Amino acid sequence: MFDKNKENNSLIWVYDIIDISLMKGAPFKTKTECAKTLGINRGTVRLYLNSGKLCKNKWIFSYIPLTEKELSKWKIPSKVIEIIIGELLGDGHIRKSRGNIRGEARLEFTFSVKNLQYVKYLKYEALNFVCTDSEPTPWPSSRHGNLEPTQYWFSTKSLPIFSELHNSWYKKINGKYKKVLPINIEKLLTPVGLAHWIMGDGYYNKSGSNVIICTDNFTENEVLKLIEVLDNNFGLKSTKKKRISSKGNLMWRIYISKLSMKKLKELVIPYFISDMLYKLNIK
């Protein structure tokens, strides 16, 4: 696709891989024109031009026009987006870049050590398209002596998609960003997302023979909306139950009816990893 030797006064084609579109003003006649339009330096254009690598995780530079099929290799697969939606309903957190006007947001996770296999599955398999190959970070780390890790943390790459998601999943309240439920959650949640939501933030309730989803950070109205979505999207019946935290805060959790457990398992088992099947009472 890319020929590093094709520089003979060629036009410079620049594509935005977020929506697979040609950048405004492209093709550019010179590297200087390209750099000025995009707000980067000429050396950066030279570095990425015809390299087959993304600049700032969103632009691809080429001496020849590229087809949608050629560009699709950089587009985040729809299944990865569905997984991200499920993880955001749980403990997944989007952090915005600070101090860099061009910085993009990233998705972060922290799991207890007992879920290390799930951490590795997320990082190296489910979300590998948006992650690096680095190891998850243990806490306490080796800097704290010989203490055994109790948690593992990792983040994705900083990408425009996470900045977009931050706009719909977070609202600034009293100077701090708080996660909120997107108004179009009904269109976003799929069986893939539901499976990851439960793997990340659900557990099996033996006394009720059902699954409980920890929605502690959502408001009562948001929990009611999620209950409605579970019914409308999947035909799953559920109820809300209140819980008082150790700090005295009122929280709400979703109790999926035991009468819907058969349907729930049919929906999500294809997307569960074996290490997490215990959350459905499957051994």
What confidence score (pLDDT) does residue 3 get? 56
What confidence score (pLDDT) does residue 98 get? 67
* 9 — pLDDT class (breaks 50, 70, 90): low
Domain count across the chain: 2
User: What's the mean per-residue pLDDT of the chain?
Assistant: 91
Asked if residue 21 belongs to a domain, the reply is: yes
- Angle (nearest 5°) at CA 110 between 100 and 213: 120
Asked if residue 144 belongs to a domain, the reply is: no
Asked if residue 175 belongs to a domain, the reply is: no
Separation of CA 88 from chain center? 7
pLDDT in tens, 266-279: 999 999 999 999 99
Asked if residue 62 belongs to a domain, the reply is: yes
* DSSP code string of 231-263: HHHH---EEEEEEE-TTS-EEEEEEE-GGGHHH
Asked if residue 86 belongs to a domain, the reply is: no
Q: What are the backbone angles phi and psi of residue 250, rounded to the nearest 5°?
A: -85, 125
Rounded Cα gap, residues 28 and 12, in angstroms: 5
What confidence score (pLDDT) does residue 185 get? 98
Rounded Cα gap, residues 17 and 61, in angstroms: 11
- Angle (nearest 5°) at CA 49 between 45 and 53: 105
3-state helix vs strand vs coil in the chain, percent to 5: 40, 20, 35
pLDDT in tens, 236-254: 999 999 999 888 889 999 9
Asked if residue 114 belongs to a domain, the reply is: no
What confidence score (pLDDT) does residue 26 get? 95
Question: Is residue 19's pLDDT more than 80?
Answer: no
Question: Is residue 101's pLDDT more than 70?
Answer: no
Single out the residue in 59, 74, 89 at which a domain terminates: 74
Single out the residue in 74, 89, 105 at which a domain terminates: 74
DSSP class of residue 151? Answer: E
Single out the residue in 26, 47, 74 at which a domain terminates: 74
* 144 — pLDDT class (breaks 50, 70, 90): low
What confidence score (pLDDT) does residue 89 get? 98
Element holding 34 (H helix, E strand): helix 31-38
What confidence score (pLDDT) does residue 100 get? 45
Rounded Cα gap, residues 57 and 18, in angstroms: 9
Work out the number of other CB atoms within 10 angstroms of the CB of residue 250: 11
For residue 52, the enclosing domain spans: 13-74
The answer to whether the beta carbons of residues 12 and 50 sit under 8 Å apart is no
pLDDT in tens, 196-235: 999 999 999 999 999 999 999 999 999 999 999 999 999 9
Question: Is residue 8's pLDDT more than 60?
Answer: no
What confidence score (pLDDT) does residue 103 get? 65
DSSP class of residue 8? Answer: S
Per-residue pLDDT, averaged over 92-106, amounts to 75
The CATH number linked to 239 is 3.10.28.10
Residues in the chain: 283
DSSP class of residue 126? Answer: I
Per-residue pLDDT, averaged over 101-128, amounts to 90
Asked if residue 6 belongs to a domain, the reply is: no
Per-residue pLDDT, averaged over 188-196, amounts to 98
Separation of CA 182 from chain center? 14
Asked if residue 266 belongs to a domain, the reply is: yes
pLDDT in tens, 31-85: 999 999 999 999 999 999 998 888 887 899 999 999 988 888 888 899 999 999 9
Name the β-bridge partners of 204.
Answer: 211
Per-residue pLDDT, averaged over 181-199, amounts to 97
Question: Is residue 151's pLDDT more than 90?
Answer: yes
